Amino acid sequence: MNKKLYLFLFCLLLLPLFIFAQEAGLPEVAPPTIITELAVLAGLSLLPYVVMLLTSYVKIVIVLSLLRNALGVQQSPPNQVINGIALLMTIYVMFPTASQMYEKSREFIHKQPPTELFSGPTAAYMIEIADQAKEPMRQFLERNTLNKHIATFYQLAYKSLPETFRPSLKQTDFIILIPAFITSQLKAAFEIGVLIYLPFFVIDMVTSNILLAMGMMMLSPLTIALPLKLLLLVMVDGWTLLIQGLVLTFR
């Protein structure tokens, strides 16, 4: 299990590369240059954004944040806890995809890698691994993206790209799948957020009307509504149901 987890994290490291990966062998290049070092560092700097945007992280962290806002507590759980839960659930959701990516590129990974990190052969080696492992990620994005969003970004790309690129443009290209996946996840997250807000909104409305009818206008409705919201969340085991539901939304 630990070995597979390490392989999963390694696959995440390669995600910035598969977007631009090309089918090519390892070329013979010169020793590391400043350009090569900057390129490798730039790829590593993109890793957090890749984890956030190309995985289940976006939907999970937004839904958890909306739940906290619906409860009316701004700092409980804190942002660090929400991000930690979202990251852990992301690993849980993405593990099957990462395993498939490893299986696709296992033979090439086991070859002797270049000894120097900041070198041309190392960059080519990582790009080749990413090229062989990109199909499972493509399939994950397709499964969890709305078709109408794919069609929308295909039309945008077709209009904006030069004419020489248009004949080879496909709806399964990463330049189309990635933004379509992000917008699909945002749409789904806010749809779930609306459903989360409804019962807590009812509690707020009922509490406010009761206090107004009793003439207790000086008492903040939040003082009464917050314990009721927490009681409702605990009684239905809300955190477990929400996390379970979020995980099951991914295919």
- In this prediction the pTM is 0.75
Question: What is the distance between the alpha carbons of residues 232 and 239, in angstroms, rounded to a whole number?
Answer: 11
pLDDT in tens, 195-235: 999 988 888 888 888 888 887 777 777 778 888 888 888 88
- Locus of tokens 């409702």: 232
C-beta separation of 47 from 12 below 8 A: yes
Candidates 211, 209, 140, 218; CA nearest to 181 is: 140
Look at residue 135 in the predicted model and tell me its pLDDT. Answer: 82
Question: What is the distance between the alpha carbons of residues 219 and 224, in angstroms, rounded to a whole number?
Answer: 9
DSSP the chain: -HHHHHHHHHHHHHHHHHTT--S------PSP-HHHHHHHHHHHHTHHHHHHHSSTHHHHHHHHHHHHHHHT-SSSS-HHHHHHHHHHHHHHHHHHHHHHHHHHHHHHHTS---S-SSSHHHHHHHHHHHHHHHHHHHHHHHHTS-HHHHHHHHHHHHHHS-TTTGGG--TTSHHHHHHHHHHHHHHHHHHHHHHHHHHHHHHHHHHHHHHHHTT-TTS-HHHHHHHHHHHHHHHTTHHHHHHHHHHHT--
DSSP 23-45: S------PSP-HHHHHHHHHHHH
Tens-digit pLDDT string for the chain (251 aa): 555 544 554 455 445 544 444 444 444 444 556 666 676 677 677 777 877 888 889 999 999 999 988 888 877 788 899 989 888 898 888 888 888 887 877 777 677 665 555 555 666 667 777 777 778 888 888 888 998 998 998 888 888 877 777 778 888 888 888 889 999 999 999 999 999 999 888 888 888 888 888 877 777 777 788 888 888 888 888 888 888 888 888 88
Look at residue 121 in the predicted model and tell me its pLDDT. Answer: 61
Look at residue 62 in the predicted model and tell me its pLDDT. Answer: 92
Question: What is the distance between the alpha carbons of residues 95 and 158, in angstroms, rounded to a whole number?
Answer: 33
